[in-house]
Chains A and B, each alone.
Chain A
């Protein structure tokens, strides 16, 4: 089968999975449905010859699943009471998004066809990457040599996000251990 058929199958699966995840009442099922979507992305990366990304996406999915299940499952879950105003809001949103999708089809016709990338900047990297950086894996040579500042920024953002999460959660930890250090 050609790769387009596989990708259309996986993408359809992912769209159905995400709609199910958003509409389910049960929290654990919703989190696991999103996990299916993420693993579908991982398989799509494999089909599209992005091996490093497939591995990273798989790991990301497992970690995100662990974080979400650990944080949310077991909490008292509020079931929404569907009111008339909320139903009108949903209807208007679905119509507006459908209109956006219909109007965007003309824009996607302007893009280069699938399977025929522009390949302008990357041409230099592919042709001279091995000689200039000594790495056989071109993705590695881009991350760690050509765009090393980008990676430094990434590490900074990750560090800041984890620091933020820890400082937000710190009061909870102190309270549960019996301390009196919760800041108001």
Chain B
């Protein structure tokens, strides 16, 4: 249970960054940290004590495997996270071109 709480604390560190930082870069990094915490939490739920990786080999009991379903879902999630990071970085670069700053309190105008 201590491991789950530590993993949740990592998620809260990401939320802290999003709520208090004023730099676009730090906000993007915080989103990444939250993603890491969620992915790791799923895999922690899937772990089975004394079990091996989810690949069938000869003379290995079928039950001695970790849960493969969360692993398959998180594989999808990690790849999507890369796409989201690339798009956020592109948006931040365009905002920097226009306003010459990453400070979100100075980026106020809707257009022009």
Residues of A within 8 A of B (CB): 3-4, 7-8, 11-12, 14-15, 18-19, 21-22, 27, 30-31, 34, 37-38, 41, 44-45, 48-53, 56-57, 60, 63-64, 67-68, 71-72, 75-78, 80, 86, 89-90, 93-94, 97, 100-101, 104-105, 108-109, 111-119, 121-122, 125-127, 129-130, 136-139, 142-143, 147, 150-151, 154, 157-158, 160-162, 164-166, 168-169, 171-172
Q: Could you tell me if B68 and A4 are in contact, using CB atoms closer than 8 angstroms?
A: no
Q: Could you tell me if A11 and B16 are in contact, using CB atoms closer than 8 angstroms?
A: no
Q: Could you tell me if A15 and B10 are in contact, using CB atoms closer than 8 angstroms?
A: yes
Q: Could you tell me if B20 and A93 are in contact, using CB atoms closer than 8 angstroms?
A: yes
17 residue pairs from A and B, CB less than 8 Å apart: A15-B13, A18-B13, A31-B29, A50-B43, A50-B66, A52-B71, A53-B74, A60-B79, A67-B89, A80-B22, A97-B16, A108-B8, A116-B49, A117-B67, A122-B67, A136-B56, A169-B93
List the A side residues contacting B10 at CB < 8 Å: 11, 14-15, 18
- With the chains together, A45 CA to B70 CA distance in Å? 12
Q: Could you tell me if A142 and B62 are in contact, using CB atoms closer than 8 angstroms?
A: no
Quick one: which of B3, B48, B79, B90 contacts A165, CB cutoff 8 A? B90
List the B side residues contacting A19 at CB < 8 Å: 13
List the B side residues contacting A126 at CB < 8 Å: 54, 62-63, 65, 68
Kindly supply a per-residue 1/0 record for chain B positions 39-54, scoring 1 wherever the CB is within 8 Å of any chain A CB and 0 otherwise.
1100111111101111
- With the chains together, A122 CA to B2 CA distance in Å? 26
Residues of B within 8 A of A (CB): 1-10, 12-17, 19-23, 25-26, 28-30, 32-33, 36, 39-40, 43-49, 51-57, 62-63, 65-69, 71-76, 78-87, 89-94, 96-97, 100-103
- With the chains together, A41 CA to B82 CA distance in Å? 15
- With the chains together, A121 CA to B66 CA distance in Å? 13
List the A side residues contacting B85 at CB < 8 Å: 64, 67-68
List the A side residues contacting B93 at CB < 8 Å: 71, 169, 172
